[in-house]
């Protein structure tokens, strides 16, 4: 197993037109979730990936599991529960702006994720463990599950933990997010905040100082995502800016950060250096912008030119 990730996926209902949801009558059914987005993207890039979660024992839960499993992701550790439903969220599309997101995930099945759901023998199979702050924000037990996964990896020196803060202030307060996410990040090998997340968590404005904040606390690699400008990476020995890719027709920005994470991890799995791995991350993230939906635009490895980390085809 190359990568295992842990977190919630929900049914996404995306409107077929722009405007306030109160005027929308038709929706397209999809799925969305940061961790499963990363899992699907990595699977398409040719890696063996496992996704661990809980779903409601309902039609939406079966739909989510079947879609992710159909993308080649191992879902053997997904648990169906009777007493909590599969989460749902809606997008509200506005011309020229990022979509508004409305979550209906309180008391969802995934909010009951806990340390007992982290099968350490399963997790120890993976080279990389991918975690996000969303799982920690869902519930106290979700945070405990994240920490158990990290502790399990720390007892296995061959594993690398990748942490994306993925701040969701609809799930907890700003103060809670800063305190808990900084605490989690110090025990992770790779931390990859977006620039605004980095500013919030560290109090610093520049990518260099944001990276230094986490490096001083024990992280080995920090990648600060800069949107269309690309990303900045830093280790104790190397650092640099990696330019982004120009996307002419941005359809949907959701999922770009998860695509970046998958591309970056894929590069590291292939033995690439940080610069080239970040470049691949920028590419995969940019592909997500061309298509509606969280993961639908992620490329397959056959569409990537390994010589320059660029797509060979235009969708």
Q: Which of 258, 276, 294, 305 is catalytic?
A: 258
Contact indicator for 202, 210 with CB cutoff of 8 Å: yes
**305 counts as catalytic:** no
Which residue matches tokens 């977006």?
Answer: 194
| DSSP per position, 25-60 | --EEEEEE-HHHHHHHHHHHTT--EEEE-EEESSHH
What's phi and psi for 180, nearest 5 deg?
A: -75, -40
- Specify whether the CB–CB gap between 65 and 78 falls below 8 A: yes
d(CA 74, CA 109): 19
Of 57, 7, 11, 63, give the one whose Cα is nearest residue 32. Answer: 11
Q: Estimate the crossing angle of helix 174-185 against helix 195-202, to 10 degrees.
A: 90
Which two tokens mark 9? 């996926």
Cβ proximity of 114 and 146 under 8 Å: no
Judge contact between 222 and 233, C-beta under 8 A: yes
Token representation of residue 23: 């005027």
Query: Which residues are paired to 305 by β-bridges?
Result: 310
Residue 177: other Cβ atoms inside 10 A = 21
- Would you give the DSSP letter of residue 84? S
CA torsion 110-116-121-122 (nearest 10°) is: -10
What is the distance between the alpha carbons of residues 313 and 250, in angstroms, rounded to a whole number?
A: 17
Give the residue from 114, 153, 108 showing the smallest Cα distance to 130.
153
Catalytic residues, by residue number, are 258
């Amino acid at each position: 197993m190359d990568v295992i990730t842990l977190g919630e996926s929900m049914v996404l209902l995306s409107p077929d037109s722009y405007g306030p949801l109160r005027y929308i009558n038709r929706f397209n059914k999809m799925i969305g979730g940061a961790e499963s987005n990363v899992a699907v993207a990595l699977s398409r890039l040719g890696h063996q990936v496992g996704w661990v979660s809980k779903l409601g024992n309902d039609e939406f839960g079966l739909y989510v599991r079947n879609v992710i499993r159909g993308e080649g992701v191992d879902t053997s550790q997904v648990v169906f529960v009777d007493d909590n439903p599969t989460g749902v969220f809606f997008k509200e599309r506005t011309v020229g702006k990022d979509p508004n997101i409305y979550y209906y995930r309180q008391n969802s099945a995934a909010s009951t994720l806990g340390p007992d759901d982290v099968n350490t023998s399963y997790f120890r199979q993976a080279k990389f463990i991918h975690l996000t702050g969303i799982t920690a924000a869902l519930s106290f037990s979700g945070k405990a599950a994240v920490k158990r996964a990290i502790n399990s990896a720390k007892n296995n020196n061959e594993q690398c933990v990748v942490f994306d803060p993925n701040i969701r202030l609809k799930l907890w307060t700003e103060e809670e997010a800063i305190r808990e996410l900084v605490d989690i990040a110090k025990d992770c090998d790779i931390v990859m905040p977006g620039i605004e997340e980095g500013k919030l968590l560290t109090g610093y404005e520049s990518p260099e100082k944001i990276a230094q904040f986490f490096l001083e606390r024990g992280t080995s690699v920090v990648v600060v995502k800069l949107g269309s400008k690309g990303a900045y990476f830093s280790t104790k020995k190397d650092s640099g800016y990696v330019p982004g890719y120009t996307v002419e027709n941005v359809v949907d920005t959701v999922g770009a950060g998860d695509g970046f994470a998958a591309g970056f991890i894929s590069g590291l799995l292939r033995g690439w250096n940080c610069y080239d791995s970040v470049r691949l991350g920028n590419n995969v993230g940019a592909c997500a912008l061309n298509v509606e939906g969280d993961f639908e635009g992620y490329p397959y490895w056959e569409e990537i030119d390994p010589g320059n980390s660029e797509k060979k085809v235009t969708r």
